[in-house]
Amino acid sequence: MTARRDASWIALSFLAVLAWDASGLDMTVERWFGNAQGFSLKSHWFFAQVLHEGGRWVSAAAIIVVLINVFRPWPFARAMNRATRIWWFAVTVFCLLLIPTLKQLSTTSCPWDLAEFGRSAQHVSHWAFGVNDGGPGRCFPSGHASAAFSLFGGWFALRGASPRAARRWLAGVWVFGILFSVAQTVRGAHFPSHSMWTAWVCFATSALLWHAAQPLLIRRRTGI
């Protein structure tokens, strides 16, 4: 039942993000914040320093929490075994590495690199694989959003052992993920879809790895 529910969320969210892509709203949103002179909020202290630079520190702190939890479980995670805690840390690191890897392979440039916003690149769909838009590329999906969304693994690891902690963890991931995403959109660093796909990839990856690991984790719990 849980696997079916997770699969349904993955499928429905996939269709929702595809629908956003098809709507063309990415450019509409960016035009709210940018013009031919660029993005006026690109270097704004709140978006650039607090939510962008500060967000990295928040993410680093959360990862340290997950790492310490492997060896010395926090009160909210004491009901889970070490194998599950190791899985939690491993999938977090995997997602943190996966998004930047995908980003390095992308030919999609950031909004602030587009001709419409004062630079030289043309707007090309991130689905146009291999098509160069005339800019530096390497902007899809959103790396900064992964600082929060890479932590989705905590929801899967905690929900059986501590449902209340799992819900709070999930809420925190979404709050910070949305804040980081909005900051990058306002600054012209990423289209909204870039962050949406980061969230989807991290959630889907965490879910798939969670269910794939169940045979091993069950054996660890039962001592087989």
Tell me which residue range forms the domain holding 77.
41-123+142-222
| 10 within a domain of the structure (yes/no) | no
Residues 159, 71: contact at Cβ < 8 Å? no
Domain membership flag for residue 147: yes
Residue 36 falls within a domain, yes or no? no
- The tens digit of pLDDT for each residue in 64-115 reads 999 999 999 999 999 899 999 999 999 999 999 999 999 999 999 999 999 9
Domain total in the chain:
1
- The position carrying tokens 């965490």 is 206
**Other beta carbons within 10 Å of 32:** 9
Rounded alpha-carbon distances, angstroms, from residue 209 to 133, 153, 202: 34, 9, 11
Q: Is residue 104 part of a domain?
A: yes
In a domain, 116, yes or no: yes
What's the pLDDT at 220?
63
**Residue 62 located in a structural domain:** yes
Question: Is 193 among the domain residues?
Answer: yes
Q: What is the pTM of this model?
A: 0.95
% of the chain with per-residue pLDDT over 90: 90
- Is 49 within the bounds of a domain? yes
